Structure 1
Amino acid sequence: MRIQMELARILIRELNPAQLIELREVGVDAAHARSFPILIGIAEAIAIDRRLSGVEIGRPMTHDLLANTIEQLGASLDSIAITEIIDGTFYALLNLTDNTGRQIDIDARPSDAIALGIAGDVPIFVDESVIAHATLPPMDGFGRPEDFES
């Protein structure tokens, strides 16, 4: 079963190569919502932040290029699914529909999938098994910043 989640927070620390995003369960009050962090790279964190902020850059960045390609091919990004966590690595799928109505799933890193989907308000779903392995206690968020030193 897949649970809908949202990007709750992004933590960018420029002096650290590992950045964090936090996904939180949708439709549940904050005191009971499950959430979990995903470590991502600085480039992906900046791309997500840029797209959230609506910052335009003169030329298309990688995620803009992919979004433009999907659109020009007549396809749509319907949702993002985070499907597995193996040895601490998260796996995701881009769930697309092409111009004939065919459903296509494309393997992606969660950070790239979220960077691609965030501008279009694309829903994020996470397999229950991933949530069970990665979830923090409700309201715990990222904890203290010093807990995430590399």
Structure 2
Amino acid sequence: MIEMKVAAIALDAVTRSPIVLLKDATERRALPIYIGQDQARSIIGALEQQATPRPLTHDLMINVFHIWNIKLEKVIISTLQDNTFYALLCTKMGKKEKNIDCRPSDAIALAIRAGCPIWVMEEVVLDASIPIDRQADEEEREAFKDFVANLSPEDLIRRTRQEE
């Protein structure tokens, strides 16, 4: 799993649909997830720590978690099927742990409010992320090519023995 943070909320230039953009710690990969208008407002409100006169849905959920001593430990963007992302709320109440199926937009809105990490399964990142720092990716590929090109069988044997 790869931990990611909310980098931005953007609008698709063609459809004008909101997109939440998650980035990894190295800021070399970004994961765009299309979300609804209400979820976009909720995420923005949480990021900006906007107070509302009455609790909105995600605030209500966090209040229920607090009252029942349920800790939201993390959220996981777990799978991508037919262009639809799936997420889990990973909760803990005492010694009991439960994972709750959830839309990624709701999971992200709750994670921000609860201050818990957002994790994305590696296969989801591989399938749906976009590169941000193409130059760093290219430099890494070139360094690996140079390493392999200069690796002799003797070096490989020596390295293997050192690891044992």
TM interval, short-chain normalised = 0.7 to 0.9
- Asked if the contact 1:12/1:45 (under 8 Å) is kept, the reply is no
Measure the CA separation in 2 of the matches of 1:96 and 1:37: 25
1:39 aligns with 2:39: no
> Superposition RMSD on alpha carbons, in Å?
1.8
Tell me the CA shift for residue 102 of structure 1.
Answer: 1.2
Measure the CA separation in 1 of the matches of 2:16 and 2:102: 20
Residues 20-39 of structure 1: per-residue CA shift (max 9 Å, x gap): 1111112x2x3xx2111000
- Unaligned 5+ segments in structure 2 are 135-164
Select the residue among 109, 118, 125 that pairs with 1:115. 109
Quote the residue 1:144 is aligned against: none
Number of aligned residues: 133
Task: Give 1 or 2: higher helix fraction.
Answer: 2
Equivalent AA in structure 2 for residue 132 of structure 1: L
Quote the residue 2:9 is aligned against: 10
Work out which structure has the larger RCO, using CA pairs closer than 8 Å and 6 or more positions apart in sequence. Answer: 1
- Asked if the contact 1:17/1:42 (under 8 Å) is kept, the reply is no
Distance 1:80 1:25, change over 3 A: same
- Provide the secondary structure at the position in 2 that maps to 1:74: coil
Quote the residue 2:144 is aligned against: none
- Unaligned 5+ segments in structure 1 are 141-150
Measure the CA separation in 1 of the matches of 2:18 and 2:69: 33
Measure the CA separation in 2 of the matches of 1:56 and 1:22: 23
Quote the residue 2:77 is aligned against: 82
Tell me the CA shift for residue 139 of structure 1.
Answer: 3.9
Displaced runs of 4 or more, over 6 A: none
- Provide the secondary structure at the position in 1 that maps to 2:90: strand
Measure the CA separation in 1 of the matches of 2:9 and 2:70: 28
Kindly, what percent of the aligned residue pairs are identical? 36
Measure the CA separation in 1 of the matches of 2:116 and 2:44: 15
